[in-house]
Structure 1
């Protein structure tokens, strides 16, 4: 049998109310025209009774026909955490009766972005509307941790009160004993009685004062613990008494059903950042990379045992491709400059009289400052051009559920582990540091979808430091410094006999020479890269010439000079770097970045 819908019930209620009203009107009119005395006497009573019944019936039926409101507690099922923000999925199973029902999903985060809200349901029903609101009258329920702390605080407060009472009783007893220490009155006492009373006072007062001492120690301990709990309770209560968020969903069902609802929405104050552990047993084994994530959230709702998915996407970043506006080029016409007395004199090549009445030629005066350039009407290329990376986001599904409390503190989540093909060598920059550094070059690193982040380095079972893994590197190998190798000895000295300064006509030529000595004290062969440099001229009047760098690779654009050496066990070697700089006589040169 089909249950009547809401509109049908309302219509029937109003028809019944009209029918009863017309019946009462008909009875009253009949009594009026027939002048039935008994009917006239009972007319008012019957009229009131029937009208009351009609109104009550109409209100009851109408109340049945109105929309029903139902509070729903949902549970967080899964969370997709982006680099900035997170997508939360709540689920709930709801029993619905026939007709319209207003479902209020309570206790949601106030950080919910309402424009991202999506509601779906499985069942024979229709979702008519979805709305979001902030409820300032309902605050988040207290977490179990807060209740435990409050119970502990109450326990210690009770202990402190009990010990305080016991201490007060002991103090009162001590005062009473001391107030009654006068013995014997006018009659006097025997020596035995005096000794017994003295022994009693000594024993009892000692017991009381030792007991008070113990009570003081216990009180200090309880008060310290109480203060710790109060401090922790203040920390845990940061999110207490805050408003909650609610989603109101109006649904219509033809019959009573059980439906499964799912809410999807984006929340702010959440995200994750990568962190890595790089472990190498020795300089010949591949590096083990542990990919981890620091997940944090402060949404006001704890994520308890939820399925976590990490995504490299960022929902706050625009997905629209930028457009290039026309970039115009035109001739530049400087603004006309009015000539003053000084400028007119120079333009005419005449003499100008100064304030000291000294006549000088205007052409011998220093040139005036150049006119200020006009501000161009169109913007530069940089103002219209934007670099956009159109790569797809990578998702990492975490195999086990995690609990992330809403306190903003990072929680470490294991993502994946990889074994990376690794090439090792030593590298040194003697000009800046005379130590050699063990370098690991990771091959095919880009296929593991790594992000830039901090990395902890462990070598031969020991933590050797931190580094930054730059995933924006465009090279096919990723270089990571594993620390200093003190068993490679390096020394750099200037060759004084070669370094000199000479004059050649209108030019000055300065020569520089450096000697780099290296020694391998290990019992194994090592590859060593030595980096030096020569200056790069920024002026066509300055000429830099490389005189000697045997066996080195030279990049004249950057001035970088690189040697690659293979050192046998206990072998020593040296490299020489010589260069010269020519520049005009009477000028000085400066070095800088």
Structure 2
């Protein structure tokens, strides 16, 4: 066995010993989170007392979906401390009796009991309706017989239909009330089931822990930073474009919608949003060789194009003045890296693990713009206002939806492609209701021309009125 194989074997034995030996479980709070478009890097920090010699710390519980290869640890202390090993262990545990799971379960049981009570009331109403139906049939038969025998009571015949109508009306009113109660209760049950199943699934999931081996020259207190990358998290851009009343520019807001369902809540964390995409990889893809041969045919891809416009309402100058007096939103610190841009949220952020969108404001800028009208009279009688502007921010604008406002009025939703800093781009601000475009066909004539050759000739004439 050579030296390399011996080192690999000793490292494997050391890791196996770490995973099998019992160690105390320590907690480390989540302090920093960097969210990428399709994943997140979580950093935990904890302070621990180290004894002289070797120390093994098991940090957890950690999400089961974390990438084992991404786990990193760093330690600082007053005295000399050496970090020897970091290993990840998976714990297949039984379901933990979460108090919140018990509360949601009891809430669901109570709602189902209420549903059962409504079903019982419905059965009583159905029985009453059947009984009234039998009474109606029997009374009609007896009335017919009495009439034939000249033994009928005229007053009784008059009262019976009215009484039956009143009873059927009461039953229909009660049935309608039960239907409304059942509909509302079914909605509450669906919501309660979704909350219960989500929480119960989170409690029943397996866990992972990180075992960190440290060597301290003397007893000391150490601060440990543990970071890892996991999926089920990401952020997407969202923009708001608001046309200014003075027609000098566009107030452009850059937002980020953060979602995560990692199984752990991020409370009061230092949040950073990054445009980097770790999933793509660091190595540039290489083109494969093309071999030209008489027997091969190289197909060509067809170009694809798409476009969309939005509708709008009229702009209010008074609302624009009031808008200028509103309190400014938070703005993030923008850090331009070599290959990506990072946005640092200036305050502690909360992002629970609920899969719901949580919006953060990145920046708000006033972009200089020139406004022009564009129209396609053949397809639409409207004139669309377009703002030709430039990205004068320090960060790229990633492709995403744009909510369009004119003054305080929301007029529609559009989208933009990725725009680099200093790159020009267009924003369509919708329809100007004060303008109409009319297209009239004046001439559409076809004929033949030429003395020796027959050539087809077509003449078109249109009148465009704005």
For the criterion TM > 0.5, the same-fold answer is yes
TM-score by length of 1: 0.52
- Provide the residue aligned with 1:232 in structure 2: 195
Q: Deviations over 1:289-316 (max 9, x none)?
A: 1111111112111112211100011011
Partner in structure 1 of residue 349 of structure 2 = 402
Alignment of 1:511-522 (within 5 A): 511-519=458-466
Match in the other structure for 2:280 = 317
CA distance in 2, matches of 1:120, 1:439: 53
Retained in 2: the 8 A contact 1:94–1:259?
yes
Distance, in Å, in 2 between the alignment partners of 1:475 and 1:94 is 49
Residue of structure 2 in register with 1:129 after alignment: 85
For structure 2, list consecutive stretches of 5 or more residues without a partner in the other structure.
Answer: 1-20, 118-173, 302-336
| Partner in structure 2 of residue 97 of structure 1 | 51
Match of 1:81 in 2: 35
Q: 1:127 to 1:474 in 2, by over 3 A?
A: closer
The one of the two structures with greater contact order (alpha-carbon pairs below 8 A, sep at least 6) is: 2
Distance 1:130 1:402 in 2: 29
Tell me the residue number matched to 1:56: none
Which residue pairs with 2:142 in the alignment?
none
Determine the structure 1 residue equivalent to 2:225. Answer: 262
CA contact (8 A) 1:95 1:257 kept: yes
Alignment partner, residue 24 of structure 2: 70
Shift, 1:444, TM fit: 3.9
Whether the aligned pair in 2 keeps the contact of 1:68 and 1:101 (CA below 8 Å) is no
- Alignment TM-score, normalising by the size of structure 2: 0.65
Specify the structure having the higher radius of gyration (Cα).
1
**CA distance in structure 2 between the aligned counterparts of 1:448 and 1:251, rounded to whole angstroms:** 41
User: Who is 1:454 aligned against?
Assistant: 401
Taking a change above 3 Å as real, the CA distance of residues 147 and 399 of structure 1, as seen in their structure-2 partners, is farther
- Decide whether the 8 Å contact of 1:78 with 1:308 is kept in 2: yes
Q: What's the secondary structure of 1:435's corresponding residue?
A: coil
Residues 441-480 of structure 1 mapped to structure 2, 5 A cutoff: 441-445=388-392, 447-472=394-419, 476-480=423-427
What does 1:89-488 align with in structure 2 at a 5 Å threshold?
A: 89-123=43-77, 124-137=80-93, 142=98, 146=101, 149=104, 227=189, 229-282=192-245, 284-323=247-286, 374-375=295-296, 392-445=339-392, 447-472=394-419, 476-488=423-435
* Larger CA deviation: 254-263 vs 267-276: 254-263
Whole-Å separation in 1 of the counterparts to 2:421 and 2:34: 29
1:501 aligns with 2:455: no
The runs of 5 or more residues in structure 1 that have no matched partner are 1-66, 164-212, 333-372, 383-389, 520-593
Residues 1:264 and 1:480: Cα distance change in structure 2 (over 3 Å): same
CA offsets per residue over residues 232-262 of structure 1, 9 Å max, x none? 3234333220001111112222322211100
Contact residue 488 and residue 518 of structure 1 kept, 8 A: no
* Structure-2 separation of matches of 1:293 and 1:145: 30
Partner of 2:147: none
Please report how far the alpha carbon of residue 476 of structure 1 lies from its aligned counterpart in structure 2 after TM superposition: 4.3
Is 1:503–1:509's contact at 8 Å kept on the other side of the alignment? yes
Find 1:489's aligned residue among 423, 426, 436: 436
